[in-house]
Amino acid sequence: MNKTKIILAIETSCDETAAAIISSDQKNNEMSVLSNIVSSQIKLHQKYGGVYPELASREHNKNIIPVLSQALSEAKLDLANIDYFAITTGPGLIGSLLVGTQTVKTLAYILNKPVIPVHHVEGHIYANLLNNKDIKFPLVALVVSGGHTSLIYMPSHLKYEVIGQTIDDAAGEAYDKVSSMLKLQYPGGPLIDKLANNYLNKSAENKENLKKLFPRPLLKEKNYNFSFSGLKTAVLYYLKNQNINQKTQEEVSFAFQEAVTDTLVKKTLKACKDYNAKTLLISGGVAANQTLRDKFTKSTNDSTIKLFLPEKYLCTDNALMIAIAASQKLLENQVGKWYDINTNANQKL
Ligand code: KG4
Ligand code: ZN
């Protein structure tokens, strides 16, 4: 039997319409990427300062077939060549999710092909496994995005225990809110990242004081939860007495980013130690942050724990990560039919 399977994955949980195709060699547990298309709606949502859900689902509706057909043509395949469909079933914006799930349901029904449902966070975690087979368990995964800040313990593949999460805002959400306080555009993460680096590349005077300007919430607590709402309020109060000019934008970006990244790194490393993790997987949009990447790299350099960071293009939402997770699910026979797809905006891991 031919063990190489073609998987077409679709992801529409937020504001990216994405489709990817991989060829998965199940015998050798290897994969190759045939196409990876992401159509971002960022420009459209910028004037609202965040994702406008109704508009997002309408855009998915408009883009889904062109994105799907581009993924097929770049892979030089047509629908008849697809062995499995994979789809993000949740969590996310319900209207957005439904566009993807309904598309896949229809295709799977008409073509009589199996479907692999994938949790969005599971996709982020598995973005680390493109070309990496030698992941050692147990592991700890940190998922940091606009919708999630979660620490997850994994004793083996596809087994998850959420050991910590944010009790209020997600890290990316805090980035986006602080950026709007600084009169910057949505999404704020990449802009704050850049401004903080501008500060460091210039004189960086007052650096030590700025590092201490904002609190590191919940750092002293014994649990692995995060909280970013107090930090956001601290930035708001600080800005009340400031003019917002380029200097303030750069300094506040640096100070805020120091507080967020310190908290994420320290809590995650504590979880790794307490759970005897052999591997640490970082993922989600905020994992594209260079300071966060540098701090994790530096702090795991001399330890036995092996750090994985997906390439930056795989940190923000995409369908390739869904295809990679689906390939693992296929190995473990976690496959269903079109009627097994349950779209759930609040799906638990
Ligand atoms: O994973 P993602 O695309 O969507 C969700 O699942 O939420 O993450 C988007 C989030 C946004 O909040 C964005 O500001 C943040 O990731 N982000 C960053 C960077 N790039 C994207 N945050 C910090 N630094 C970055 N370089
Ligand atoms: Zn995401």
Residue 2, exposed/middle/buried by CB under 10 A (0-12, 13-18, 19+)?
exposed
Amino acid at 193: D
* Closest approach atom of ligand 1 to CA 284: 1
Residue 348, exposed/middle/buried by CB under 10 A (0-12, 13-18, 19+)?
exposed
Task: Please name which ligand lies nearest the alpha carbon of 191.
Answer: 1
Dist. CA 111 → ligand 2 center (Å): 29
pLDDT value, residue 85: 98
Residue nearest to atom 16 of ligand 1 (CA): 285
Name the helix (H) or strand (E) containing 304. Answer: none
Residue nearest to atom 10 of ligand 1 (CA): 146
Query: Is 107 in contact with 124 (CB distance < 8 Å)?
Result: no
* Closest approach atom of ligand 1 to CA 175: 14
Nearest to 19 by CA among 318, 310, 283, 328: 318
* Lookup result for tokens 């994955």: 9
Helices (H), the chain: 42-46, 53-74, 94-111, 120-126, 171-181, 188-201, 207-211, 229-240, 246-274, 290-300, 320-331
pLDDT value, residue 2: 67
Give the global pTM: 0.96
pLDDT value, residue 258: 97
C-alpha Rg value of the chain to the nearest Å: 20
Distance separating alpha carbons of residues 210 and 262, to the nearest angstrom: 13
* Closest approach atom of ligand 1 to CA 186: 14
* Helical packing angle, 246-274 and 171-181, nearest 10°: 170
pLDDT value, residue 152: 98
* Closest approach atom of ligand 1 to CA 316: 3
Helix then strand count (H, E) for the chain reads 11, 10
Distance separating alpha carbons of residues 103 and 16, to the nearest angstrom: 15
How many other C-beta atoms lie within 10 A of the C-beta of residue 1?
4
Distance separating alpha carbons of residues 215 and 232, to the nearest angstrom: 10
pLDDT value, residue 1: 55
Residue ranges lining ligand 1, Cβ < 6 Å: 14, 145-147, 172, 175-176, 187-190, 193, 284-286, 288-289, 316-317
Residue from 39, 286, 315 whose mutation best tests the ligand 1 pocket (most atoms within 8 A of CB): 286
Dist. CA 247 → ligand 2 center (Å): 31
Structure-block tokens of residue 77 = 């395949």
Name beta bridge partners: 8: 21, 85
Per-10-residue mean pLDDT, the chain, length 349: 88 96 91 96 85 92 98 98 98 97 98 98 97 89 96 98 96 95 94 95 87 88 93 96 94 97 96 97 97 97 94 97 97 96 96
Distance separating alpha carbons of residues 217 and 263, to the nearest angstrom: 7
Structure-block tokens of residue 123 = 């996709």
